[in-house]
Structure 1
Amino acid sequence: MTECAIYRARERIDVEGDISDTLDEALLSDDRAFCWIDLHEPTETEFDLASSELNLHPLAVEDAVEAHQRPKLERYGDVLLVVLKTLSYDRANTDVRTGELMLFIGRSYVITVRHGDVDPLGQVRRRLDKDPTLIDFGPSAVLYGVIDAVVDRYVDIVDEVHAAVTDLEERVFVSTRGPVAEDIYALKREVLEIHNAVDPLVPVVSSIVTGESVRVAPEALPFFRDVADHVMLVDSRVDSLNELLPQVLAAHLAQVGVQQNDDARRITAWAAIFAMPTMIAGIYGMNFDVMPELRWAFGYPMAIFAMVAVCTVLFVMFRRSRWL
């Protein structure tokens, strides 16, 4: 347990003790108070206390302990389970790392379970401390703050990935050398990681805004609508990157094809140029006693002159046709 606090009367009260004590105090508080308990990668034994106190559904407990869930929203009786994907981006290695964040939301409590190294919850706590009016929303304040912090991180990562795609485009059109294709495939794989985190989140946030699965305080709806707009914006940008990367790869392959054709034409042109001296030397290298110009004093200079002249003419012709 990394955080345990009760929010009451627009103030945060840190609580010392186990989960049971915190939940009891929160449940006995007034309707406007709620507790927030944060757990980081708990084992099944460590999560048993919370699950037994709140009578959580076994499937919800399994999701919290095992992780590896896609973003979703499910209701188990009076408990709402929201699953989010957290992301971090290592631009040096072009690597998107994923984690998971689960929220168990009840009438007077929020339990967050984190898997992975990314921790957006500190930002949410600071925001609640800075703007205590959000606490009036109850547990919905934590739900909004967490989704907003996660989506803001999505925006930053998409900006960084877009910059990486722009760099790839420049590399494709400036130079076809280097492992461009491998980098495109690697970046495509990371964009898919982002897509798997963002795309399933769109219906989750939409269901919250429309009230299909959970009722939030009316005052909180504009905040959730703002988050929904950001999620859909990020989702559209990720779709654009998914469409752009194959086009970058196609442009790279086209560039490689053009370069190979140019190389083949150069090789053919130089082969034709060197073939002519070889032919002349081969003719005059035959071992016959009777041959024209065989004993002519100017025969050797004329053969050399003919080689140079033919090579020069061929070189000029290939140069004009841009084969060289």
Structure 2
Amino acid sequence: MLLIHNICPETGDRLIHRSLTIDEDIPAGSVWIDLLNPTAGEDKKVETHLGISIPTREEMHDLEPSEIIYTENGAHYMTARVICHSDTVVPRLADVTFILTEKALVTVRYDEPGAFGIFLNRIAKPGGCSPQPAAVIEGLIESIVDRAAEVLRGVGDRIDEASRRVFEGKSSAVEQNGAYQSVIRKIGQYEHIISNVRESMVSVERVLLFLSANFKRPTKAASGFTPEWRTSVRDVQAIEEHATFISSKLSFMLQATLGLVGLEQNKIIKLFSVVAVVLMPPTLIASIYGMNFKAMPELEWAHGYPMALAMMVVFAILPYLFFRWKKWL
């Protein structure tokens, strides 16, 4: 799909977007050209219009920085990993390539990150975005950073809720409800989201540093807009630090939860040990008087049977009272 964004002819202070068919020419003055799951024909159309080359999906996924961030024929090529489907249990990262030229900004993507929808709603309003390629990429990156911050905040809230569920409730009730297993499973999911956010912000920071070092800033008199890449870099670094803090908090929660699981298991083992010790003397007495030797004087006792029962009861109670005295129970 090929989406174009032009300056609104009526107001001139916002961008309007529409889809373009393969038979239509790209209008002159298009500020932003968005390629969503592009076909070979749509790639060719944009290449002809701007005199650039559109990277393939395989090239966008390259791990070498020199292959995803570079300048060619006056156009700046930058690929970042953007968190996508953050409202699902296991979000994923989508590769997005930004191609910044003097005429227009081109974005190439094969997924629909939520940040793009947020930015599209923003530019549709008057004054939402300055109608210039540099302003568009700055606004897109700002939306990506804001979306990452929202995802982290949501994860932090869910971690706090899980913590209260584990640490504020009675351990026996929590264990019976299976909360420990559920929390450990969720911790893995939350750590996956946090690592995705951190990886996304690292790639975005690399893009911002490249822009601040290579993008020629126009004067305000000439364009009326000067991008502030350093401010965005500070925002990204703040999110990275916050992600590190949440990750450490998650690590503590995992260790604490495993510690509580260990305590519950120790209680069960201790109970079995106490029962075994309590039943040991009665078992010994029953074993002795259960032997069938002929010469056993106790066999002739009239009160031998109740005496054996009484001894078993007494020697079962004594270890129990000793454990209670030692406060082992």
TM-score per shorter chain, which class?
0.7 to 0.9
Alpha-carbon contact 2:16-2:124 (below 8 Å) kept: no
Alignment match, 2:72: 76
Quote the offset at 1:272 in angstroms.
1.1
Alignment match, 2:156: 162
Q: What are the equivalent positions in structure 2 for 1:1-324 lying under 5 Å apart?
A: 1-7=1-7, 9-10=12-13, 12=15, 21-22=25-26, 25-26=28-29, 34-57=30-53, 60-63=54-57, 67-68=60-61, 73-89=69-85, 94-132=89-127, 134-135=129-130, 138-173=132-167, 174=169, 175=174, 177=178, 178-179=180-181, 180-208=183-211, 211-217=212-218, 220-221=225-226, 223-324=228-329
**What's the % identity of the aligned pairs?**
24
Bigger shift: residues 193-202 or 243-252: 243-252
Pair 153,196 (structure 1): closer, same or farther in 2 beyond 3 Å: same
Quote the offset at 1:264 in angstroms.
1.9
| DSSP-derived class of the 2:82 partner | strand
Q: How many residues align?
A: 309
Gapped runs of 5+ residues in structure 2?
none
Write the letter of the residue equivalent to 1:159. R
Alpha-carbon contact 1:19-1:37 (below 8 Å) kept: no
| C-alpha distance in 1 between matches for 2:90 and 2:128 | 38
Over the aligned positions, Cα root-mean-square deviation in angstroms equals: 3.1
| C-alpha distance in 2 between matches for 1:318 and 1:303 | 23
| DSSP-derived class of the 2:26 partner | helix
Bigger shift: residues 5-14 or 244-253: 5-14
Question: Structure 1, residues 239-297: CA drift from partner, whole Å, max 9, x if none?
Answer: 22333333322223322333332222211110111122111111111223333433222
| C-alpha distance in 1 between matches for 2:219 and 2:286 | 96
Quote the offset at 1:231 in angstroms.
1.3
Structure 1 length normalisation: TM-score?
Answer: 0.81
Gapped runs of 5+ residues in structure 1?
27-33
Quote the offset at 1:94 in angstroms.
2.7
Quote the offset at 1:212 in angstroms.
0.7
Alpha-carbon contact 2:80-2:203 (below 8 Å) kept: no
